[in-house]
A and B are shown apart, each in its own frame.
Chain A
Amino acid sequence: MMREIVGNIIIGIGIVFVLLGVLGIYRFKDFYSRILIGAKVDTVGFITICTGAIIRSGFTWFSLKVLLLVAIVMLINPVVTHAIASSAYRGGYRVSEEDDNNDAGS
C-alpha cells in the first residue's frame, strides 16, 4: 500500500512537468525556444511518470517493460526534436531580430 502512494506522488510530479511543458508551448513567441522547452520538459515528464509506474508496480514483468519503454523514448525523443529543429533551420526559418529583444525582457 505504501508503494502505491509513493508511486502516485511521483506520477503526479511527472504530470506537473508535462503541464509545464504545455504552458511552455504557448508562452514563447518564436519556434526555437518553443521546441527547446516543449520537447525537453516532455521527456523529463515521461521519465518521471514511468519511474512512478515502476515504483508502483514493484519488481514484475510490467515494470521491466516500462523500463524498456523509458530507455527507448529517452533515445528517440531528443533525436526527433533535433531532426525537427535542424529541418527548421535548414528550411530557412530564421528568428527576426526584434523578437529576440522582447523575450529577453530587456
Chain B
Amino acid sequence: MINIFIHIMTAAAFITSLRILIGPTIWDRLLGFNLLSAKLIMILVLCAILFNRNFLLDIALTYSLLGFVSTLFIARFVRDRGRI
C-alpha cells in the first residue's frame, strides 16, 4: 500500500519538475523547486515508513532545513537582479 503511494508521489514530483522547465518567470522556477523539495521530503517520510528506518527521517529534516536556507537566499538574490 505504501509503495503505491510512493509511486504516486514520484509522479507528482516529476510533474512539478516540469513546472521548473516551463515556468515563464524565474519565480515560477523557484516555486517549482520549493514544491519539488517538499515532495521529496514526503517521499522520504513514506520510505521511512516502508523500510522502517529512523535515519531516513533525519535526512528529511536536514534536507528541509537546507532547502529552506537555499531557497531564501536564491529568492533574495533574484529580487534585485544580483545586487544584494
Contact = CB atoms under 8 A, between A and B. Distances in A.
Interface of A: 8, 11-12, 14-15, 18-19, 21-22, 25-26, 31, 34-35, 38-39, 42-43, 45-46, 49-50, 53, 56-57, 61-62, 65-66, 68-69, 72-73, 76-77, 79-81, 83-88, 90-91, 93
Interface of A is mostly: helix
Contact of A83 (B12, B61, B71): B71
27 contacts: A11-B46, A14-B42, A18-B9, A19-B8, A22-B15, A22-B16, A31-B27, A34-B31, A38-B35, A39-B31, A42-B38, A45-B42, A56-B49, A62-B48, A62-B57, A65-B57, A69-B45, A72-B65, A76-B65, A79-B68, A80-B72, A83-B71, A83-B76, A84-B27, A86-B75, A87-B75, A88-B27
A34 B23 CA distance: 11
